[in-house]
C-alpha cells in the first residue's frame, strides 16, 4: 500500500479548508476503485461497513422524529458523516481506545455496543450506563473502550493523548483515536494535545471531521490555514487530508496512521473533509445561516449513496439487498426504542451512588432524609 504521508505530501499544499482540494480520494463517481482497494477492503468487510452506515442513518432518522414528537428532549445527528467515522473506526483493534466527539455512534456499535444501550442513554432510563445524569447522546461505554462524551469542545483530545501515553508506559501496544470537529481546532485542548503528542511521540491518531460548520461558524472563518491537516507540521508529525465521504479512502489513511502509531512512529492528524447535513443539534436551525444550494451540493456526495454504488459496481449488492437492509435496520431501531421506553427511570436513591467509592455517613444521611421526605409526601397524597 503506497504511503499517503510524507514531508512533501501534496495533500498539504494549496488546499482550502472549505473545499475538497488536495483530499485523498479513491472512490470514483461510478463507484469504481483502483484494483488494490479491493485487496485492502474484501467484499465481506465492505458489506459489513455499509451495514453500519445504514443502521446509523436509520437510527438518526428515527431519533429525530422522536425529538419532534416530544419523546426525547434532544438529539445530535451524524447524517452525512457516516463514512468518516465508520471508515476510521474500522482501522482499529478492539483493544484500542476511542475518544469520541458528538457524531460517532457507529464507532460504539462496531465495538459491540447494542442499539438498545444508545437509546437507553438518550431517554435516561434505569439501564443507562450514566444513570440518566448525562445529556442525551453523551454516550459512555468504557467496557467497549469508548470513552465518555463531554460537552466542552476538544477535551477528548488531551484525554486521548494521556491514555495513549499511559498505555505505552504500561507496555501495552494499543492506540488511542480522538475524534473532533473543525471547531475544536480553535480550542486550547487542540494545541495542548497535539503539542504534547508530538513532543512525546504518543501512539495517538487525531481524526478531525471537518464538517464545515461549528454550529453556525463556517470553517473558512475558523482558521486562516490552507487546511486543518497542515497544522500538524507545527507539532512535528504528519497530517493528511482525505475525502471524508469516501469510506475506502478514510479506511486506508487511518490504517496507515494506526500502524504508524502502534509501531512507535508517533501521532498523525487526519482531516476528513465531510459535511453536517442537519442542524448542529435539534436545538439549532441551520437554515438561518447556510443556504440550500450548499446543502444540496453535499447531498449529492452522500457517503451512503456513494458506497452503495461501489458495492453494486463490485457485483455484490442489489436493490433487493438494499431494501432488505433498510427494513432490517429500521426494525432494529424501532425495537430498541420500544424496549428503552418501557424501562423505568432510575430510582431516586441512585442519585447518591457513584459520588464516592465508599459512601460517607454525611451522604447517607442526605439520601435517607430525601427518601424519608418522599415517603411522607407519598403518604400525605394517598386517598
Determine if residue 154 is left, alpha or beta; phi over 0 gives left, psi from -120 to 50 gives alpha, anything else beta: left
**DSSP E strand boundaries for the chain:** 97-99, 176-181, 204-210, 213-214, 217-218, 239-243, 268-273
Residues 336/114, Cβ–Cβ less than 8 Å: yes
Per-residue pLDDT of the chain (383 residues; tens, 9 = 90+): 445 555 444 344 445 777 888 899 999 999 999 999 999 999 999 999 999 999 999 999 999 999 999 999 999 999 999 999 999 999 999 999 999 999 999 999 999 999 999 999 999 999 999 999 999 999 999 999 999 999 999 999 999 999 999 999 999 999 999 999 999 999 999 999 999 999 999 999 999 999 999 999 999 999 999 999 999 999 999 999 999 999 999 999 999 999 999 999 999 999 999 999 999 999 999 999 999 999 999 999 999 999 999 999 999 999 999 999 999 999 999 999 999 999 999 999 999 999 999 999 999 999 999 999 998 888 755 44
Residues 226/232, Cβ–Cβ less than 8 Å: no
Catalytic residue among 260, 280, 308, 367: 280
pLDDT of res. 381: 55
> Of how many residues is the chain composed?
383
Q: Which long-range contacts (CB under 8 A, 24 or more apart) does 351-354 make?
A: 353/131, 354/131
- DSSP output for 191-259: HHHHHHHHHHT-SEEEEEEE-SEETTEEGGGT--SS-SGGGGGGGTS-EEEEETT-HHHHHHHHHHHHH
Catalytic residue among 103, 138, 145, 276: 276
Angle, CA 290 vertex, CA 105 and CA 11 arms, to 5°: 65
pLDDT of res. 2: 47
Euclidean distance between CA atoms 209 and 276, whole angstroms: 9
State the Cα torsion 50-83-87-65 to the nearest 10°.
-70
Pairing of strands 176-181, 97-99: parallel
* Backbone φ, ψ for residue 176 (5° rounding): -110, 135
Euclidean distance between CA atoms 352 and 366, whole angstroms: 9
Cell numbers given for 21:
482540494
280 a catalytic residue: yes
Catalytic residue among 51, 262, 289, 309: 289
Euclidean distance between CA atoms 173 and 92, whole angstroms: 12
pLDDT of res. 377: 86
pLDDT of res. 3: 55
Euclidean distance between CA atoms 352 and 362, whole angstroms: 11
276 a catalytic residue: yes
pLDDT of res. 238: 98
Amino acid at each position: 500500500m503506497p504511503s499517503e504521508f510524507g514531508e512533501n505530501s501534496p495533500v498539504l499544499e494549496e488546499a482550502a479548508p472549505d473545499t475538497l482540494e488536495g483530499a485523498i480520494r479513491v472512490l470514483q463517481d461510478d463507484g469504481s476503485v483502483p484494483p488494490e482497494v479491493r485487496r485492502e477492503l474484501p467484499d465481506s468487510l465492505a458489506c459489513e461497513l455499509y451495514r453500519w452506515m445504514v443502521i446509523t442513518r436509520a437510527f438518526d432518522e428515527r431519533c429525530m422524529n422522536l425529538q419532534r414528537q416530544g419523546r426525547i428532549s434532544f438529539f445530535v445527528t451524524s447524517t452525512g458523516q457516516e463514512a468518516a467515522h465508520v471508515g476510521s473506526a474500522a482501522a482499529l483493534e478492539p483493544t484500542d481506545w476511542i475518544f469520541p466527539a458528538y457524531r460517532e455512534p457507529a464507532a460504539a456499535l462496531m465495538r459491540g455496543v447494542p442499539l438498545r444501550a444508545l437509546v437507553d442513554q438518550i431517554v435516561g432510563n434505569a439501564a443507562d450506563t450514566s444513570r440518566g445524569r448525562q445529556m442525551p447522546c453523551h454516550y459512555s461505554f468504557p467496557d467497549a473502550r469508548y470513552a465518555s462524551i463531554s460537552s466542552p469542545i476538544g477535551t477528548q483530545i488531551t484525554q486521548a493523548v494521556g491514555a495513549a501515553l499511559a498505555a505505552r508506559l504500561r507496555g501495552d501496544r494499543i492506540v488511542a483515536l480522538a475524534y473532533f470537529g473543525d471547531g475544536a481546532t480553535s480550542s486550547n485542548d487542540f494545541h495542548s494535545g497535539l503539542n504534547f503528542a508530538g513532543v512525546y511521540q504518543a501512539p495517538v491518531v487525531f481524526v478531525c471531521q471537518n464538517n464545515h460548520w461549528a454550529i453556525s461558524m463556517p470553517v473558512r472563518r475558523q482558521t486562516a490555514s490552507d487546511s486543518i491537516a497542515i497544522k500538524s507540521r507545527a507539532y512535528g508529525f504528519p497530517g493528511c487530508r482525505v475525502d471524508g465521504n469516501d469510506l475506502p479512502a478514510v479506511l486506508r489513511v487511518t490504517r496507515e496512521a494506526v500502524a504508524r502509531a502502534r509501531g512507535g512512529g508517533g501521532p498523525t492528524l487526519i482531516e476528513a473533509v465531510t459535511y453536517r447535513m442537519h442542524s448542529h443539534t435539534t436545538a439549532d436551525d441551520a437554515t438561518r445561516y447556510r443556504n440550500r444550494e450548499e446543502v444540496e451540493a453535499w447531498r449529492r456526495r452522500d457517503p451512503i449513496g456513494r458506497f452503495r454504488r461501489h458495492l453494486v459496481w463490485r457485483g455484490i449488492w442489489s436493490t433487493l439487498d438494499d431494501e432488505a437492509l433498510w427494513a432490517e435496520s429500521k426494525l432494529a431501531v424501532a425495537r430498541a426504542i420500544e424496549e428503552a421506553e418501557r424501562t423505568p427511570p432510575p430510582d431516586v436513591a441512585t442519585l447518591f451512588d457513584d459520588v464516592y467509592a465508599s459512601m460517607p455517613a454525611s451522604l447517607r444521611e442526605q439520601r435517607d432524609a430525601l427518601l424519608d421526605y418522599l415517603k411522607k409526601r407519598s403518604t400525605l397524597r394517598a386517598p
